[in-house]
Amino acid sequence: MFFSSKHPIRLFIVFLSTALCIGSSLSLQAQEKSNLTSTAEFGGKWGTKVEEAIKALKLQGNIEDGQIIYEEICEACHQPGGNGDPAGNFPQLAGQQSTVVIKQIADIRAGNRDNPTMYPFANIEALRAATEDIFDEEKDGPQTLADVAAFIQTLPMSSSIKGPGNDLEHGEKVYAENCVRCHGDHGQGSFKNYYPVIAGQNYHYLMRQFRWIKEGKRRNANPEMVEQIARFTERDMLAVMDWVSRQKLQPGDWDPNN
């Protein structure tokens, strides 16, 4: 499945590089975990404390280079347009806030978010191996994050897989009472607070991530959200994620001041 990329040889290099580095991967993760510093100027008290993300947030992302990185590393799973897969195994990335992309990839690299499928692709050494014959100069971790995040944010969202649509009125009510303060009127998220765009996201992916956050499996979840959704019933979860999956982004939703 992963070798459906138009560059299967380079993807093989990614896996090979990861395999060769597996002996040192645990110590690398431990080192990354120790690279914690003060809360970033983005995100308030939930702001990232991973040094790599803090550096990346201050860099100007190169959209053209980000497209190259995306095509070499990301599109085999997330699809050329960033739309993910129908089953929701891989989320729709298209249109996601660049700050969210940076934080989530940095969290995976630092071991703050469990995502074994992403480890071979998020690994900076593997990424360098896959792109070393493309870029004139070797890119460091923060710059690659800034580049690919900048490109992903430019991708137009497409229609995604939606829920059954049989309880939308309740879903809208639950959203208005519990979610709108952070995720916005229609799921547009917040650039400066790392609140992701959830509007139009794949319903199955939304449900899985929501359950993991509620059950404590998503370790980098916003503590305020964990507390907020603790009382949600099964009906609440199904209805609100169905409603969210049907929302669309609107002009002005990528305002960096929000």
Q: Is residue 159 part of a domain?
A: no
Residue 48's pLDDT band, with cuts at 50, 70 and 90, is low
Q: Is residue 205 part of a domain?
A: yes
Among 154, 187, 206, which residue terminates a domain?
A: 154
Q: Is residue 110 part of a domain?
A: yes
pLDDT at 50: 85
Average pLDDT score, the chain: 83
Which of 12-21, 60-69, 80-89 comes out lowest in average pLDDT? 12-21
Residue 14's pLDDT band, with cuts at 50, 70 and 90, is very low
Residue 25 has pLDDT above 50, yes or no: no
Which of 58-72, 184-198, 242-256 comes out lowest in average pLDDT? 242-256
pLDDT tens digit sequence for 123-169: 878 777 777 878 877 788 899 999 999 999 999 998 889 999 999 99
Q: Could you tell me the residue range of the domain that residue 132 belongs to? A: 2-154
> Do 78 and 203 lie in a common domain?
no
pLDDT at 174: 99
| pTM (two decimals) | 0.81
CATH number (domain holding residue 93):
1.10.760.10
Among 102, 128, 154, which residue terminates a domain?
A: 154
Residue 45 burial (CB count, 10 A): 8
Q: What would the mean pLDDT of 202-221 be, rounded to a whole number?
A: 95
> Do 9 and 125 lie in a common domain?
yes
> Do 46 and 142 lie in a common domain?
yes
Residue 19 has pLDDT above 80, yes or no: no
Residue 26 has pLDDT above 80, yes or no: no
> Do 54 and 182 lie in a common domain?
no
Which of 142-146, 166-170, 235-239, 241-245 comes out lowest in average pLDDT? 142-146
How many independent structural domains does the chain possess?
2
> Do 189 and 221 lie in a common domain?
yes
Residue 64 has pLDDT above 70, yes or no: yes
> Do 201 and 139 lie in a common domain?
no
Q: Is residue 250 part of a domain?
A: no
Residue 28 has pLDDT above 70, yes or no: no
Among 110, 127, 154, which residue terminates a domain?
A: 154
> Do 132 and 208 lie in a common domain?
no
Q: What would the mean pLDDT of 224-246 be, rounded to a whole number?
A: 97
Q: Is residue 256 part of a domain?
A: no
Which of 1-5, 75-79, 138-142, 191-195 comes out lowest in average pLDDT? 1-5
> Do 76 and 126 lie in a common domain?
yes
Residue 32 has pLDDT above 70, yes or no: no
> Do 138 and 11 lie in a common domain?
yes
> Do 118 and 241 lie in a common domain?
no
pLDDT at 137: 76
